């Protein structure tokens, strides 16, 4: 079972506790330079361990990645994939935790069954 699936299981059992755990920089859903985040299908970030400021935005659908040459509307792509396929991979440019320069990242997204929520976790290339 992946970290994303474990987070989904925790969220189904206790959503408040799941959001709190995903939000922790030193929580069980953070490892190496990877971490789980949580969004809803409206484009709202509900939990992010390294960029909590994203949770204060109404929605992220108009926010692009950090690719200066060809920006991608990554959050819009996340929502569309979660809504239509329920799970899958998205590739984009995003800074590693504690860095400012963008790196190539591939993120797995998983829609939590019976909810309007999806969790994601990525691998930097």
Q: What is the CATH number of the domain that holds 57?
A: 3.30.450.20
Does the residue 29 lie in any domain? yes
Does the residue 95 lie in any domain? no
C-alpha 74/C-alpha 60 separation (Å) is 9
Nearest to 5 by CA among 112, 97, 107, 101: 112
Does the residue 102 lie in any domain? no
C-alpha 78/C-alpha 43 separation (Å) is 8
- Which range marks the domain in which residue 83 is found? 3-90+108-119
In the chain, DSSP finds a helix count (H) and a strand count (E) of 3, 6
Q: Residue-wise pLDDT tens for the chain (125 aa)? A: 799 999 999 999 999 999 999 999 999 999 988 999 999 999 999 999 999 999 999 999 999 998 888 999 999 999 999 999 999 999 999 999 889 899 999 999 999 999 999 999 999 98
Does the residue 101 lie in any domain? no
Does the residue 67 lie in any domain? yes
pLDDT value of residue 29: 98
How many domains does the chain contain in total? 1
**Both structure tokens of 79:** 């929502």
pTM of the model: 0.94
pLDDT value of residue 66: 87
Structural contact between residues 20 and 26, judged by C-beta atoms closer than 8 angstroms: no
Does the residue 103 lie in any domain? no
pLDDT value of residue 44: 98
């Amino acid at each position: 079972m992946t970290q994303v699936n474990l987070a989904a299981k925790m969220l189904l059992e206790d959503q408040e506790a799941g959001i709190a755990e995903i939000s922790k920089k030193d929580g069980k859903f953070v490892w190496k330079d990877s971490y789980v985040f949580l969004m809803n299908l409206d484009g709202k970030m509900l939990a992010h361990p390294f960029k909590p400021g994203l949770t204060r935005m109404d929605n992220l659908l108009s926010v692009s990645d950090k690719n200066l040459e060809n920006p991608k509307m990554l959050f819009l792509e996340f929502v569309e994939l979660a809504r239509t396929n329920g799970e899958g991979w998205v590739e984009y440019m995003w800074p590693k935790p504690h860095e400012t320069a963008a790196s190539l990242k591939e993120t797995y997204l998983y829609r939590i069954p019976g909810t309007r929520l999806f969790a994601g976790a990525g691998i930097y290339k």
